[in-house]
Structure 1
Amino acid sequence: MHISRPAGLAAVLLLIGASGALAQPAPRGQAPQQQAQPPQQQAPQIAPAKPYKAVAFTPPAEMKDPAFDALRKQLADAAQKKDRAALAPLVVAKGFFWEGESGDRADSKKSGIDNLAAALGLSNKDSAGWDMLASYADDPTAGPTGPRKGVVCAPADPQFDGVAFDALLKATQTDIAEWGYPVSPNIEVHAKAAADAPVTGKLGQAFVRVMPEEKPASTAFLRIVTPDGKIGYVSTDSIAPIGNDQLCYMKEGNAWKIGGFVGIGGGQ
């Protein structure tokens, strides 16, 4: 199933608020922050917790390519040092694309590095965009996204039955933003939002509903609904949202380079 990215998954952080579960997620591994509810705005009603039919997924695949690994290593080093000069040659000089909500937002008159800096908000060394880059560099998955030939984007999406997933949304009266998937097998579900709380079960390799709280007890945990309809808690970094913002790569000669970005980004 191809995942549409109207606003992308990826800005900088997984935003969790009373308005919906996983909104505008970020690269895998980054901790979520609480999203403030706009003043004088009522949160939409959230469908009650109830049992649902589990929809399985196949985890995103790693991209096994020494040249790709070499780029990731250079990217990680540049991100750690927040070194724009070292980052520049890792980006295509021309043809950089930025697929946002309203089409390609890249400026064709600007260089690839300038467009990347605008997409991620790399205005200075304190910008959160550098942390985003580090997260992308740490992710070994990548795969085709959309019709662009020769382009792969990361993080890669899981594979699943789109018809079954659409049926799941309809049956539970939920939105896609309320669902995520476990990033590893057998993630423990706790009775409360605490690491020392009793373990009530483990997650299988299926999508799980995230049910936000108006006043969460801890930003380190997500409240979820398991397939049997029970409420539980898992660590925030154990669930990935569907449709992350993505950093995209293309080859120049024998070397991979950053060629584009899909999503809202951090340059808003």
Structure 2
Amino acid sequence: MTDPSFEAFRKQLGEAAGHKDRAALARLVAPSFFWLAAQGDKADRKKPAIDNLAAAIELDAVDGGGWELLASAAGDATLQPLPQRKGVQCAPAAPVFDEKAFEQLLRSSRTEVFEWAYPARGSVAVRASAAADAPVTETLTGILVRVLPEPDQPPPGGAPAAGAPGSADGPGGPGGGAMPPLRVVTPAGKTGFVAADAVLPLIFEQLCYVKDAGGWKIAGYLGGE
């Protein structure tokens, strides 16, 4: 998205998230905010839009996860249309790949969708061990990669522990951030480690936007039970 007004909106969103300014955030939420979850639209039309957004992303959680989600969203310029709602676009945009080939891959590898992820951006360094200074053994560029569970632990019941887009060599790199690095199987069939924020799961939740006469607004949220 190259719309300058969307870039300005993302800056406002980032500032509101950074200061945890609920009033500023409320001004960025569309009155018709929707929350499409597994059970349908969970938005309570009797409540203000900001309250529905807060409930959807757990904005009031003690760990501040809701604000972190918004900060991450502010840094993501990718968008994809939401077909069932005219003019609405959601982020992050889903990766484009051959779905039939992926279905065959799942069958042949006997894996589930939640075990796979894709590079968050550009290239991702795969290191020989979890150490931040471990040798780079391979580089991932725009290709699906399988995320392995930790040794002696069952696979996760949802998406792999992948975070917001980031650099494999930044603070979230192997051994360098709060989240431990992920063990992956590369396309070459070798195991290695990548930063937890360097890859994104194929199953994820999305924040949606719409542009009206007053500019861009948060239109809704896709995710939840």
Aligned equivalent of 1:253: 213
- Structure 2 unaligned residues grouped into runs of 5+: 154-173
Match of 1:89 among 27, 42, 45: 27
Amino acid at match of 1:114: D
**SS where residue 236 of structure 1 aligns?**
coil
Counterparts in 2 of 1:254 and 1:64: CA distance versus 1, 3 Å? farther
1:208 aligns with 2:179: no
Aligned equivalent of 2:47: 110
Structure-2 separation of matches of 1:237 and 1:206: 16
1:230 aligns with 2:190: yes
Structure-1 separation of matches of 2:24 and 2:223: 24
1:262 aligns with 2:200: no
Percent of pairs with identical residues: 51
User: 167-176 or 63-72, which moves further after superposition?
Assistant: 63-72
Aligned equivalent of 2:121: 184
Amino acid at match of 1:73: K
Counterparts in 2 of 1:238 and 1:164: CA distance versus 1, 3 Å? same
Cα offset for 1:115?
A: 0.6
Equivalent residues of 1:78, 1:87 under 8 A apart: yes
Structure-2 separation of matches of 1:237 and 1:124: 21
Amino acid at match of 1:72: R
Cα offset for 1:205?
A: 2.2
Equivalent residues of 1:145, 1:151 under 8 A apart: yes
Counterparts in 2 of 1:79 and 1:186: CA distance versus 1, 3 Å? closer
Aligned equivalent of 1:76: 14
Does 1 or 2 have the higher relative contact order (CA < 8 Å, sep 6+)?
1
Amino acid at match of 2:195: S
Amino acid at match of 2:218: I
Counterparts in 2 of 1:256 and 1:169: CA distance versus 1, 3 Å? same
Cα offset for 1:87?
A: 1.0
Counterparts in 2 of 1:83 and 1:125: CA distance versus 1, 3 Å? farther
Cα offset for 1:254?
A: 4.9
Counterparts in 2 of 1:83 and 1:240: CA distance versus 1, 3 Å? same
CA RMSD of aligned residues (A): 2.1
- Structure 1 unaligned residues grouped into runs of 5+: 1-62
Cα offset for 1:208?
A: 0.6
Counterparts in 2 of 1:214 and 1:102: CA distance versus 1, 3 Å? farther
The equivalences for 1:1-268 within 5 A come to 63-93=1-31, 95-123=32-60, 127-214=64-151, 219-264=179-224
Counterparts in 2 of 1:166 and 1:260: CA distance versus 1, 3 Å? same
Cα offset for 1:247?
A: 0.8
Equivalent residues of 1:180, 1:207 under 8 A apart: yes
After TM superposition, the score normalised by the length of structure 2 is: 0.83
Counterparts in 2 of 1:198 and 1:126: CA distance versus 1, 3 Å? closer
Cα offset for 1:185?
A: 3.5
Q: How many residues align?
A: 202
Cα offset for 1:138?
A: 1.2
Structure-2 separation of matches of 1:76 and 1:145: 23
Q: Deviations over 1:136-192 (max 9, x none)?
A: 111111111342111001111111111111111111110010000112334222111
Aligned equivalent of 1:25: none
Counterparts in 2 of 1:246 and 1:192: CA distance versus 1, 3 Å? same
Amino acid at match of 1:179: W
Q: Deviations over 1:214-265 (max 9, x none)?
A: 469964311111122211111111111113211111122151111100012x
